[in-house]
Amino acid sequence: MTKLLVVYHSRSGNTARMAEAVAEGAKSGGADVAIKKVEEATLEDLTGADGIVFGAPTYFGTLSGEMKSFIDRSVRIRGKLENKVGATFTSSGSLSGGNETTLISMIEGMLIHGMVIVGDPIETGGHYGAVAVGMPDAQALIGCRKLGERVAKLAKIIGSS
């Protein structure tokens, strides 16, 4: 079965709620899903997954330091995440508070690992990943679920080829 890992950082619960919705979507896409706070996630969790979704709050226009530290630590497993499927989500305080730059910063790490990134051609959540302003509303939750489902489905296709 396709294994999907959701790793997120959240101080006040907004990104955590998005993580739950991404996980729900991935389950409906047929994946076996693990959801971990970044404080509890390990590098082995990353190497054991077929698809990985990172979520972080937007801090000063980029990902929170806690999430950046985790991605920095993953230098130790360079080469081991190649061809895994990746996607990202973020909650920011304001609409143009840097949510897209946050998504792109996390995607940069995934690209450096040789991962395959899932975008959104139909704007259910956002072109570069799922976004919410503060606590995700109903529309943002739909975007999160859709993103999780698409990552699960693509990871299954890539895993079986």
Ligand X SMILES: Cc1cc2nc3c(=O)[nH]c(=O)nc-3n(C[C@H](O)[C@H](O)[C@H](O)COP(=O)(O)O)c2cc1C
Residues of the shown chain interacting with ligand X in the complex, contacts defined by CB under 6 A: 10-16, 57-61, 91-94, 97-98, 134
CB nearer to ligand X: give 132 or 154: 132
Question: Among all residues, whose Cβ is closest to ligand X?
Answer: 97
CB nearer to ligand X: give 12 or 83: 12
Shortest distance, position 1 Cβ to ligand X, whole Å: 29
Shortest distance, position 131 Cβ to ligand X, whole Å: 10
Shortest distance, position 35 Cβ to ligand X, whole Å: 14
CB nearer to ligand X: give 32 or 66: 66
Shortest distance, position 141 Cβ to ligand X, whole Å: 14
In three-state form (DSSP H/G/I as H, E/B as E, the rest C), the secondary structure along the chain is CCEEEEEECCCCCHHHHHHHHHHHHHHHCCCEEEEEECCCCCHHHHHCCCEEEEEEEEECCEECHHHHHHHHHHHHHCCCCCCCEEEEEEEECCCCCCHHHHHHHHHHHHHHCCCEECCCCCCCCCCCCEEEECCCCHHHHHHHHHHHHHHHHHHHHHHCC
CB nearer to ligand X: give 37 or 80: 37
CB nearer to ligand X: give 85 or 141: 141
Shortest distance, position 39 Cβ to ligand X, whole Å: 13
